[in-house]
Structure 1
Amino acid sequence: PLPDGSGTTVHGADAREWLEATTPGSVDVLIADVFGGSRVPAHLTSVPYARAAARALRADGVYAANLADGAPFDFLRPQLATFATVFAELAVIAEPAVLRGRRFGNVVLVASHAPFDTAALTRRCAADAFPARVEHGAAVARLVRGAAPVGDDEAVDSPEPPDGSFGIG
């Protein structure tokens, strides 16, 4: 539960429908931690969804999405390409073993219209109890490696986690 006066509003609604109905430029930070069971629903993985998120954010707002994938990142790579179509700045945050392709796991996609302080983000993630790596710029471009943005017609749910991932199975 959030403390009274936190200044944070949680909306219990379909994420895409809520974003499409939101006043443009009215959101400071948008956190998408949305799963149907253990998978991100397909309708939250396409360019129209990314446009709705971008439209809702203020000019310096930040979008963060919890995604899950593993090598060869057949879900993550197109997601990065999708969000790159509408956001100028992208970064990913994940445990090093996930980014190296050694295991399936969570990857946080961070996107913004405006530059954000990746050096500070890198320091905070490295100092966490569960250290994570931050990739941005050329490293994100290499990760995308020519993946195409996802339209509504091609959108699919995120991959099913392998047995034993996240305590599942």
Structure 2
Amino acid sequence: MSDNGIRLDWVTGRAGRAATVMRDGHPQSFVDLDDPTVLAFEYVQHFAGVLDALPDGPLAVTHVGGAGLSLARYVEATRPGSPQIVLEPDAALTEVVRRELPLPRRHRIRVRPVDGRSGVAALRDASADVVVVDAYADGRVPPELGTVEFLTDVARVLSPGGVVLLNLADEPAGRYVAAVAAGASAAGLAGQCVVATHEVLKGRRFGNSVLVATAGVLDVDGIRRRAARSPFPTGVRSGAELAGRVRSVRALTDATAAADPDAASSPPPPTLGRWRLR
């Protein structure tokens, strides 16, 4: 079916139960209603691995970007009772997802039709244990979601020891990821690691990395153990190696984003099938 550029690509033989959510030709989410722990996209598995490394029990999670609500469904399934807020400005997409891929009963997922920047600004101090930033427009992270100012607001919203997880697409040199990490450090979120496939970490292709940042102490060993279980060959970069990359770039700011939005966005994705392999 298609609805204003929104399409659900149903898994063969499972119409109504599992589908990839498409928006303007771009895959947004994979949803399996029978088993919400099935996560098809590698970076969503990386999100889940980091969440699994956090202490047991419900988590207050704010999602910047929702699409098919895959990660919110995962949290609901693995940590029942977790209060979750999803900031998703695409109300038409949310309507299709709710209608065709309904949420489970008694969930605590609340979707707000607002953009990430204004939605985070409206949240209470220390109201989230985790903030997940997974928002794209035309295949790129919007410029306002990678700046020091935005990350400072995220730090305000996080509870003591809370973490932010950002899905960042970048070219092999990794300068955009490093710039956002520098902004997180400037915002007081200096405990950091990056989770990605080995090919992406080694700069062999364009791809997604998950930047994890906190004002507290990260359980990097726990994150590494879960990364080792991923069906995709996955690694974790932290410590001096990551710090060296962060020192080599300037953090993005609202001023630089306003002056040159294109340069402050994540790099445009390559043509499908051309991943700039080295």
TM-score, with length taken from structure 2: 0.57
Q: Aligned to 2:185, which of 81, 84, 87?
A: 84
Asked if structure 2 preserves the Cα contact closer than 8 Å seen for 1:50 and 1:83, the reply is yes
Q: Which residue pairs with 2:33 in the alignment?
A: none
Q: Which residue pairs with 2:94 in the alignment?
A: none
TM superposition shift of 1:143: 2.2
- 1:24 match: secondary structure: coil
User: What root-mean-square deviation, in Å, do the aligned CA atoms of Structure 1 and Structure 2 show?
Assistant: 1.9
Write out per-residue CA displacement over residues 10-44 of structure 1, whole angstroms, 9 at most, x where no aligned residue. Answer: 32321111111111111111111111121000011
Q: Which residue pairs with 2:148 in the alignment?
A: 47
Q: CA separation of 1:96/1:50 partners in 2, compared to 1, >3 Å: closer, same or farther? A: same
Identify unmatched segments of 5+ residues in structure 2. 1-68, 89-113, 258-263
Write out per-residue CA displacement over residues 121-159 of structure 1, whole angstroms, 9 at most, x where no aligned residue. Answer: 001011111131111111211222421111112122111
Write out per-residue CA displacement over residues 78-108 of structure 1, whole angstroms, 9 at most, x where no aligned residue. Answer: 1111111121201100111111111000000
- 1:34 match: secondary structure: coil
| 2: CA distance, partners of 1:120 / 1:128 | 13
Q: Which residue pairs with 1:67 in the alignment?
A: 168
- 1:75 match: secondary structure: helix
Asked if structure 2 preserves the Cα contact closer than 8 Å seen for 1:105 and 1:165, the reply is no
Equivalent residues in 2 for 1:77-116, closer than 5 Å: 77-86=178-187, 87-116=189-218
| 2: CA distance, partners of 1:143 / 1:88 | 13
Aligned length: 167
2:88 equivalent to 1:7: no
Identify unmatched segments of 5+ residues in structure 1. none
Q: CA separation of 1:145/1:60 partners in 2, compared to 1, >3 Å: closer, same or farther? A: closer
Q: CA separation of 1:139/1:163 partners in 2, compared to 1, >3 Å: closer, same or farther? A: same
Q: Which amino acid aligns with 2:271?
A: D
Q: CA separation of 1:132/1:153 partners in 2, compared to 1, >3 Å: closer, same or farther? A: same
Q: Which amino acid aligns with 2:124?
A: T
| 1: CA distance, partners of 2:219 / 2:202 | 24
| 2: CA distance, partners of 1:31 / 1:67 | 11
Asked if structure 1 preserves the Cα contact closer than 8 Å seen for 2:184 and 2:213, the reply is yes
2:157 equivalent to 1:56: yes
Q: Which runs of 4+ in 1 moved over 6 A?
A: none
Q: Which amino acid aligns with 1:66?
A: N
Q: Which amino acid aligns with 1:7?
A: S
Higher RCO (Cα < 8 Å, 6 or more apart): 1
Q: Which amino acid aligns with 1:25?
A: A
2:246 equivalent to 1:136: no
Q: Which residue pairs with 1:26 in the alignment?
A: 127
Q: Which amino acid aligns with 2:272?
A: G
| 2: CA distance, partners of 1:16 / 1:7 | 23
2:164 equivalent to 1:164: no
| 1: CA distance, partners of 2:273 / 2:81 | 33
TM superposition shift of 1:63: 0.4
Q: CA separation of 1:8/1:14 partners in 2, compared to 1, >3 Å: closer, same or farther? A: same
The structure with more radius of gyration:
2
Asked if structure 2 preserves the Cα contact closer than 8 Å seen for 1:70 and 1:103, the reply is yes
